[in-house]
Chains A and B, each alone.
Chain A
Amino acid sequence: MWRNPTRSAVVVIAVLLGVWAGVFISAFMNGMIQGYLQNHLNLSVGHIQITHPQFEDQFNPRYHIQEPESVIKSLRGQDFITDIRPQTLTTGLAQSASNSYGVSIHGIRPGLDSTQPVQQYLQQGDMLQSISRNPVVIGSELADRLDLKLKSKIVLSFQDIDGNITAGSFRVAGIFDSPDNNFDKGNVFVDRIDLNTLLEKEGMIHKIILKVNDFGKAENFKEEIAGQFPNLRVVSWGDIAPELRYVYNSMDISLYIFMIIIIIALIFSIINTMLMAILERTRELGMLMAVGMNKVRLFTMILIETVFLTMTGAPMGLLLSWLSIKMLADTGINLEAFAKGLNEYGMSSTIYPELTASYYLNITLLIAGAALLSALYPAWKTLKLNPVEAIRKF
């Protein structure tokens, strides 16, 4: 195998780079998709949502959760729930002196409820504290659209629980810029007491957003909670955003398809090299057949050489992948230049590549399988050599 070091080195480097590129791109894609998923789950969807059974139809504020305090108290007793975010929710129109836009209005209690996810994306101002009367936090996209700055006046109009149109004048206390432009454009956050006052009903909660310790098991937890509150509608993130569930379910298979495409390319490269090696050694292989090397031994010899050649490059590629992923897992890959485009699709401009240990194991098994597969044809070609002709070659 090492008789032609250049050729062997080319194969080893090809396998190394192929494995590294495949694994690293998989980690990059995984990080991107995970980021996309987590952005959506964190910002808006959560893992499980609880509402009045009829609320989701038209967001009618009349359909609020009865006795919300006791529901929240009961939820706090569940050890799998890691975060509870109650909110009053309605839809309406945000108007400024220059423009207007349809928005979802979230009534929250900063300081009392859990930390709101938008807080980490605040670019200016704060979460409703700096303005004493009717503060509002808006997204940067809405601020641009309505030409608003900190402390600018904005009027929110919507229906109260009796169906009457009502409106309130708010002042911008904070502006956030999340990775999702659509979210930034269509959501505003106000104090729940202010919103409930305008909706004409004190202490009202429309939606409780929950986070659980394992969002992959949200479906099971949902069933558990639904059993506790038969009069409320309990839905998981997969029910609310089936497109996210599809992304989540197809993530693994996408990564493997990607890796398999790279491995197929590698297989052809290995087959080509091994065929060249056999051609170069025709006379030697012919001699081995002539002096009595049996076919099983000959076949095994070529098989082992091919697998060894491949499996020399593969661990190096995996190690290089692991190192580069580990190095970038904390700092992330900054794609600020493409931030605008990525944010349009709800993706962060910083990608944190990540892969599970099981993926590395499966890739190693896949490569070992590929090595065996690529060895079969050259080994079979060797068996077809006629020793009499092979000895006289060159």
Chain B
Amino acid sequence: MTVIQTNDVTKIYNEDQVPVHALRGVDLTIEKGEFTAIVGPSGSGKTTLLNIIGGLDNPTEGSVTVQGTDLGSLSDSELINFRLHHIGFVFQAYNLIPVLTSIENVSFVMQMQGRPTKECHEKSRELLQAVGLGDKIDKRPSELSGGQQQRVAVARALASKPDFVLADEPTANLDSVSSGELLDMMAELNEKEEMTFVFSTHDQRVIKRARRVVTLVDGNIDEDEVRS
């Protein structure tokens, strides 16, 4: 089942001054349960593509369809609501709320969805256990290591029961042990829960673990390798 489809997506920054072509007609289809890495050198357009797929940025030309919904047809508020219910985000710098505990950092997304507080807490506890942090639910981000914080961020991304998770360089700030553990955990979620993961990365450890590697060069898909 197709989760994400981009059709001829082009992104040009500074159109009025010195135009920068970040993406040049990208066509990409992601199926449910994929564990895909988008790779490429700096400036190749990885983050731009992820932002456009995630509905955080608009393409200059082309369209993005997520689970059959054309993101370009949604108003600003509809797009925000769509992100809340359909897309999970993991950021390079974790971006947890420093004054909230792990469980609160995970459950606030569900609370925004309007789910009952009790359900939010139970589900958050489950998710934190699933990412191996069952004993850290009351810890604040400052009391956790980088790897642990990124696990909380993954739990938060999964909290909204998204159709897929977008992770922008999730291991960039982690040491090799933490990166390995995080990747194991995400691979397990991918296999067990059939959760679709799309990463942008140039970390070889992530690339090695990916089952599909899409290589971007100068805003174009240069290579699309599917591994068995």
> Which residues of B have CB within 8 Å of A2?
99
Complex: how many Å from CA A121 to CA B97? 69
> Which residues of B have CB within 8 Å of A277?
none
Determine if B83 is an interface residue (Cβ-Cβ < 8 Å).
yes
Complex: how many Å from CA A290 to CA B87? 10
| 8 contacting pairs across A/B (C-beta < 8 A) | A284-B98, A291-B84, A291-B156, A291-B160, A292-B84, A294-B81, A388-B56, A391-B93
- In the complex, the answer to whether B93 meets A283 with C-beta atoms within 8 Å is yes
Complex: how many Å from CA A293 to CA B76? 12
Interface residues on B, range: 20 to 34
What per-residue 1/0 map shows which CB atoms of A269-299 lie under 8 Å from chain B? 0000000000000011011011111110100
Determine if A384 is an interface residue (Cβ-Cβ < 8 Å).
no
Complex: how many Å from CA A294 to CA B113? 11
Complex: how many Å from CA A160 to CA B76? 93
Query: Chain A CB within 10 Å — which of B76, B95, B98 has the most?
Result: B95
- In the complex, the answer to whether A292 meets B83 with C-beta atoms within 8 Å is yes
Known: A297-B112, A388-B51, A388-B57. A289 touches B80 (CB 8 A): yes
> Which residues of B have CB within 8 Å of A295?
76-77, 80
Interface residues of B in 85-103 (CB under 8 A from A): 85, 89, 91, 93, 95, 97-99
- In the complex, the answer to whether A292 meets B81 with C-beta atoms within 8 Å is yes
3 closest pairs, A vs B, by CB?
A292-B84, A287-B95, A292-B83
- In the complex, the answer to whether B91 meets A391 with C-beta atoms within 8 Å is yes
Determine if B109 is an interface residue (Cβ-Cβ < 8 Å).
yes
> Which residues of B have CB within 8 Å of A287?
89, 91, 95, 97
Complex: how many Å from CA A291 to CA B85? 9
Determine if A3 is an interface residue (Cβ-Cβ < 8 Å).
yes
Determine if B54 is an interface residue (Cβ-Cβ < 8 Å).
yes
Besides A291-B160, A297-B112, 5 other CB < 8 A contacts?
A: A284-B95, A287-B91, A292-B82, A292-B83, A387-B56
- In the complex, the answer to whether B85 meets A292 with C-beta atoms within 8 Å is yes
Known: A294-B77, A295-B77. A3 touches B84 (CB 8 A): no
> Which residues of A have CB within 8 Å of B82?
292
B173 to chain A, nearest CB (A): 13
- In the complex, the answer to whether A292 meets B80 with C-beta atoms within 8 Å is yes
Complex: how many Å from CA A283 to CA B51? 15
- In the complex, the answer to whether A293 meets B112 with C-beta atoms within 8 Å is yes
CB nearest to A284 among chain B residues: B97
- In the complex, the answer to whether A3 meets B83 with C-beta atoms within 8 Å is no
